[in-house]
Amino acid sequence: MKIFTYLFCFFTFLGTAIAQRQVQSLNSAWRFSSEVQPEKNVNIPHTWNAEDAFKDGKEYFRGKGTYKKTLFAPQKWQNKQVFLKFEGSNQVTEVFVNGTSAGKHIGGYTGFVIDISEELKLASENELKIVVDNSHNTNIPPLDADFNFYGGIYRDLELIIIDKLHFELENAAAGNILVRTPQVSEEKALVQVEARVVNDGEAFRNATVALEILDPNAKKLKTLTKKIRLKAKESKNVIFETSVKNPALWSPQDPQLYSFEISLASGNPSEKLDEFSSKFGFRWFEADPEKGFYLNGKPIKLIGANRHQDLQGLGNALPNTIHKSDYRLIKEMGANFVRTAHYPQDPEVYRTCDELGLIVWSEVPVINDVTATDEYHNVALQMQKEQIQQFFNHPSVIFWGYMNEIFIRLVFNNEMTESEKEDKIETSVALAKKLEKLTKELDPHRLSVMALHENELYNTSGIADIPDVIGWNLYFGWYSPGLENFGKFLDEQHERYPNRPLIISEYGPGADVRIQTEDPKPWDYSEAYQLKLHRSYINQVLARDYVVGMAAWNFADFGSSFRQDAIPYINQKGLLNFDRSKKDIYYYYQARLVDESMIYIAGENYEQKFPKSENHKISIPVFSNAEKVNLSINDSLKISSEVTDGISFFDLKLPEGTHRLTATTGDISHSRTIHVLPRKNLLKKLETQDLTINVGTHVNYKDPVTKEIWMSDQQYEPGGFGYVGGEVYQKSAAKFQGTASDIQGTGNDPLFQTMRESIEAYKFDVEAGTYRVTLLFAEPEFNASEENIYNLNTSEEKKPEGVRSFDVKVNGKIVSEDLNLARDYGRIRAVEISYTVKTEKGIAIEFSENAGKSLLSGIKLEKL
Ligand code: GCB
């Protein structure tokens, strides 16, 4: 009898399991082809732009790609519904089953579910074909933005097989069942769960819906059930309401998560047909225009970063592991806040933020520009609806964003007439109002937000009065001058609009870990300038209680096809590199934000120091959250120094040679080895050390392949080396020193981007010997196809102003005559020319101009 009971239970259990929702990923082994690529096997997540967006820049392929596979549908599915669930596919996706369209979705950053039941042939193989199109489309946001619109099914895909009586899947929520917590206090929280049950069958069905609420230790707190009856093809909402006493609150310090499990059974409650579960949490918050942000009644300054969803080598097709590890890195930096700029991200992201305790601003990609059509407006609204409903249950999400710098194209567009501009403003404001209204209808409890750029139009147009919170993307010290203007701007806005809660939604300069200096300047892409700017911004925000918080731009470097930064096609404002290796600034945030003690000697890529002489100091920044830190040099000399703003600069006079630095606080330490090479000794060291100079700039450049350090340039002084005459090349309107271009034929773009123009000579007061001199050039302006360049030598009159031709002489002897970089090599191409020189005393390389201005990007001196 006993055995019989066990067996009975076992089979019932098995029977139930089979009847329930079956979900499996459908990522592996798709046959992919596109208009420009032949068929090959790929796995999802997949994008077709992982490579070309970094080679062809703006020309990366935007068009149609097709994914195919066969799917065997067993006869057993005859009473089932079959769905495909996409977490994200960019940007228009249409699913065909055996050649017939089963459904289509517009928009690249939210999930969607497509019912393929009707088109499937049972007991047979079926052809699944998914056509994805990432072409520019004036009716789909984003129209334009500073990131790549990588095409493809770049997030996970699932196959779901389910009873005809089930929870609704094919909706804007992509099957999410929403939990609301309309009232939360320390004593009590209300919980509402609303599920929609669908009967896709042809018969009446009785159903029992059961809800369980579990506490953070998975202990059942409540069980509620409801019975319903559905006609054929009918859908019904089932709403549960309950409360939880003394809820454990969710916060960044202590992210407590509850969960609910909801199940659907047939008339017989033990016969489960469908189920769904989700975590959720309890917290309340407020953004006060005077006092800043409050969570669960306590003030908290939000500090963190924006994050883009791409990675070196993969484009946006990231495995979940990377989504998780990115947010862990943000948490480990000490942050409590993230902005998923500029679009809803992978579901894994929101789960991770819930668990780690990161407050999220999530936004839809209505960026830079709006199209004045109903279709565009409706797609934007649909995106907002999908974002809100899909990520509704996450306690981490506190802000729903819906626009970024929406007037930026307009204010820089000289071709638009005033009335065209007015129309643009009108349609943008109208859309913002609609988005605000929808956001509040769908979720009255969270805060709405939009991000603005530094322009008065947001105030005068009234758009900044629409959302609950205003985010300012502020680039003082980068696009606009003066770090101190940041605080001034905020104070002025706060005074003029005292009822607006303000948050800094973006700030940060570009920084390249190959570029180092102790004398940082805007646009030099040095890590030191990144430190200077972030330090100043953090201080200015902390000094202002009314500022809700700040999010650095950006967590990591990211792909942007039209950018010509120090690494072409990459926006380099990351705290980490594109491959997620850390820049120094990441550790600086730790020093400012983490509680556990930390210490870090900055200068991962700054191991060689070139002081003028041994009597000149070099500066070693040490990051720590201690009040005082010690630095020992070669395990003997110990110096102690106070830490201000998480940093202590040790100014050291060190003799030539290798030194081991160890910084300590309490029982933790960090060591780094540096090599000191006083400039005045370098000419004497040529037997063992080549001299490499980054001409036309104050920064050192490290070649990551050869490990050569191209040291910052200097003026010639007798007995030494350096340039004579000329000036640093800079285009009049440009902020960037040098030419912001993708230099062809090299990976060392910064070395060739900066240069000295109208240079007269470069001199080295070396002793007698044989040397090799290598000159580095890149023509920044003129194109070889310009006819006048070819004609340069035909007659004097034909030499146009500015076109460059110069002779190079070494110790008085011409070594290159009529060097015309554009004609001989082409524009923005790295050119290296070497000469062997035998000298009795000194080397002087002279540049004499035939037309236009001479120039030089770098110089290398080797003793042979
Ligand atoms: C911004 C934009 C962001 C850009 C950033 C930049 O204000 O919102 O998308 O990437 O500036 O780096 O210029």
Residue type, 720: G
CB neighbours (10 Å) of residue 493? Answer: 20
Residue type, 620: I
CA 54–ligand 1 middle distance (angstroms):
18
Which ligand 1 atom is the nearest neighbour of the CA of 508?
A: 12
Which ligand 1 atom is the nearest neighbour of the CA of 573?
A: 12
Separation of alpha carbons 277 and 263, rounded Å: 9
The enclosing H or E element of 212 equals strand 205-214
Residue pLDDT, tens place only, 200-251:
999 999 999 999 999 999 999 999 999 999 999 999 999 999 999 999 999 9
Assign 784 a pLDDT band (cuts: 50, 70, 90). low
CA count, 13 A, side-chain hemisphere, 480: 14
The enclosing H or E element of 80 equals strand 80-86
Radius of gyration of the chain (CA): 32
Q: Average the pLDDT over 713-742 and give the result.
A: 89
Which residues of 617-754 form beta strands (DSSP E)?
Answer: 618-624, 628-633, 637-642, 647-652, 657-665, 668-676, 691-694, 700-702, 709-712, 721-724, 727-728
Q: Do the bridges between strand 502-506 and strand 469-473 make them parallel or antiparallel, or are there none, so unpaired?
A: parallel
Which ligand 1 atom is the nearest neighbour of the CA of 479?
A: 13
Q: Whose alpha carbon is nearest atom 9 of ligand 1? A: 146
Tokens matching residue 440: 């509040």
Tokens matching residue 117: 């039941």
CA 353–ligand 1 middle distance (angstroms):
23
Assign 738 a pLDDT band (cuts: 50, 70, 90). confident
CA distances from 235 to 80, 167, 170, 200, 382 (A): 16, 9, 12, 8, 22
Q: What is the pTM of this model?
A: 0.95
Residue type, 414: N
Assign 1 a pLDDT band (cuts: 50, 70, 90). very low
Q: Output the pLDDT for position 14.
A: 40
763, 844 in Cβ contact below 8 A? yes
Which ligand 1 atom is the nearest neighbour of the CA of 342?
A: 9
Q: Output the pLDDT for position 19.
A: 57
Q: Average the pLDDT over 565-577 and give the result.
A: 95
Residue pLDDT, tens place only, 340-359:
999 999 999 999 999 999 99
The enclosing H or E element of 562 equals strand 558-564
Q: Whose alpha carbon is nearest atom 3 of ligand 1? A: 146
676, 660 in Cβ contact below 8 A? no
| Whether residue 17 has pLDDT greater than 60 | no
Residue with tokens 């040529």: 686
CA 434–ligand 1 middle distance (angstroms):
25
Q: Whose alpha carbon is nearest atom 10 of ligand 1? A: 146
CA 146–ligand 1 middle distance (angstroms):
6
The enclosing H or E element of 750 equals helix 749-753
Separation of alpha carbons 255 and 396, rounded Å: 9
Tokens matching residue 161: 């097989």
| Whether residue 415 has pLDDT greater than 60 | yes
CA 370–ligand 1 middle distance (angstroms):
17
| Whether residue 786 has pLDDT greater than 60 | no
Separation of alpha carbons 700 and 713, rounded Å: 8
Separation of alpha carbons 8 and 2, rounded Å: 10
CA 446–ligand 1 middle distance (angstroms):
25
Separation of alpha carbons 500 and 464, rounded Å: 9
Residue pLDDT, tens place only, 586-608:
999 999 999 999 999 999 999 99
Assign 803 a pLDDT band (cuts: 50, 70, 90). confident
CA 751–ligand 1 middle distance (angstroms):
25
Percent of the chain residues topping a pLDDT of 70: 95
Q: Whose alpha carbon is nearest atom 4 of ligand 1? A: 146
Which residues fall within 8 angstroms of residue 17, CB to CB, at 6 or more apart? none
Q: Which of 175-184, 595-604, 615-624, 821-830 has the lowest mean pLDDT?
A: 821-830
Residue pLDDT, tens place only, 255-299:
999 999 999 998 888 889 999 999 999 999 999 999 999 999 999
CA 145–ligand 1 middle distance (angstroms):
8
| Whether residue 16 has pLDDT greater than 50 | no
CA 482–ligand 1 middle distance (angstroms):
18
Return the best residue to mutate from 143, 146, 479 for the ligand 1 pocket (most ligand atoms within 8 A of CB).
146
ipTM over cut 0.85: yes
Q: Output the pLDDT for position 787.
A: 47
CA 51–ligand 1 middle distance (angstroms):
22
Give me the chain's average pLDDT, please.
94
Alpha carbon dihedral 481, 404, 64, 87, in 10-degree steps, equals 130
570, 667 in Cβ contact below 8 A? no
Return the best residue to mutate from 455, 553, 572, 735 for the ligand 1 pocket (most ligand atoms within 8 A of CB).
553
Residue pLDDT, tens place only, 23-77:
999 999 999 999 999 999 999 999 999 999 998 777 899 999 999 999 999 999 9
Q: Output the pLDDT for position 756.
A: 97
CA distances from 222 to 212, 244, 546, 698, 702 (A): 5, 9, 41, 67, 62
| Whether residue 12 has pLDDT greater than 70 | no
Percent of the chain residues topping a pLDDT of 90: 91
CATH of 611-676, one of 2.60.40.420, 1.10.10.10, 2.60.40.10, 2.60.120.560: 2.60.40.10
Residue type, 161: I
Q: Output the pLDDT for position 7.
A: 41
CA 14–ligand 1 middle distance (angstroms):
54
Superfamily of domain 178-280: Immunoglobulins (2.60.40.10)
CA 612–ligand 1 middle distance (angstroms):
38
- List the domain boundaries for the chain: 18-167, 178-280, 298-601, 611-676, 679-863
| Whether residue 13 has pLDDT greater than 80 | no
Q: Whose alpha carbon is nearest atom 2 of ligand 1? A: 146
Query: How far apart, in Å, do the first and last CA atoms of the chain sit?
Result: 97
Which ligand 1 atom is the nearest neighbour of the CA of 473?
A: 7
Q: Output the pLDDT for position 732.
A: 66
Of residues 87, 66, 83, 84, the one with CA closest to residue 156? 87
Which ligand 1 atom is the nearest neighbour of the CA of 145?
A: 9
Separation of alpha carbons 779 and 828, rounded Å: 5
CB neighbours (10 Å) of residue 591? Answer: 23
Which residues does a 6 A CB cutoff place in the pocket of ligand 1?
A: 145-146, 404-405, 453, 473, 506, 553, 571, 573
Q: Output the pLDDT for position 4.
A: 43
| Whether residue 144 has pLDDT greater than 50 | yes
Return the best residue to mutate from 308, 363, 405 for the ligand 1 pocket (most ligand atoms within 8 A of CB).
405
Architecture of the domain defined by 18-167: Sandwich (2.60)
Q: Output the pLDDT for position 741.
A: 84
Q: Whose alpha carbon is nearest atom 13 of ligand 1? A: 146
What's the CATH fold of domain 679-863? Jelly Rolls (2.60.120)
Q: Whose alpha carbon is nearest atom 1 of ligand 1? A: 473
Assign 11 a pLDDT band (cuts: 50, 70, 90). very low
Q: Whose alpha carbon is nearest atom 6 of ligand 1? A: 146
- Identical fold for domains 298-601 and 679-863, yes or no, is no
Which ligand 1 atom is the nearest neighbour of the CA of 408?
A: 7
Q: Does domain 298-601 have CATH number 2.160.20.10?
A: no
CA 148–ligand 1 middle distance (angstroms):
13
Q: Output the pLDDT for position 269.
A: 80
Q: Output the pLDDT for position 789.
A: 43
Residue with tokens 């590199």: 577
CA 572–ligand 1 middle distance (angstroms):
11
Separation of alpha carbons 820 and 800, rounded Å: 13
Return the best residue to mutate from 571, 572, 735, 736 for the ligand 1 pocket (most ligand atoms within 8 A of CB).
571
Q: Output the pLDDT for position 701.
A: 98
